[in-house]
Structure 1
Amino acid sequence: MATRAYQSAPDGEPGDHATKGTKQAMLTGTAAKYREMGLKLLMRDPNVRQAMFQVSAKGRAAVAARNAPKSDQRVGAEALERMGRGFGVDLGGLLTAE
């Protein structure tokens, strides 16, 4: 930040770090290095590693649940609901197992 190049560089648009020659672009690489080093320092702590692992596992489980294949019963019910809508009949209340 004390260099002449940084001092004379334009600020650029807020949030635009991709435009070369702006102050934000000049700081992007440096900031990324500090973030990487900070994460490595944090991960030395066993409690932080455990917490990060738990959050990561919870996220993976949520994605797996969202992307899990639907049961054959639900797929069939959805097909019947679409067919009913095609004929102008709402079959949604008849097909739910509640």
Structure 2
Amino acid sequence: MAIQTLQLHNKFSISLLCEIAGISRSSYYKWTKRVPTIRQQENDEILKEISELHKKGHVNYGYRKMQQHLNQKFNKQFNHKRILRLMKQVSLHSISSEF
């Protein structure tokens, strides 16, 4: 992604950027044409749902409650570690109220 951004905005050559990054040009072009895996597509759907819930005001949902909601919504069993990892990836966490 950084190579694409630098190339588009600063007009650096792909060859130079790949050399700096230490990858071959063919690897870069293979990466640009990749198709997301089924797992990655599923993770994107989960992240979309997590973000929507958080925006709707369910900020008290931790990974356990979020897992329960997602299990019901998608009618599938998700591992709590996966949900926690995805929530961390987008910097979402529950807000606990102090008394």
State TM-score, norm by structure 1. Answer: 0.31
Q: Per chain length, whose mean CA-contact separation is higher, i.e. which structure has more relative contact order (CA < 8 Å, sep 6+)?
A: 2
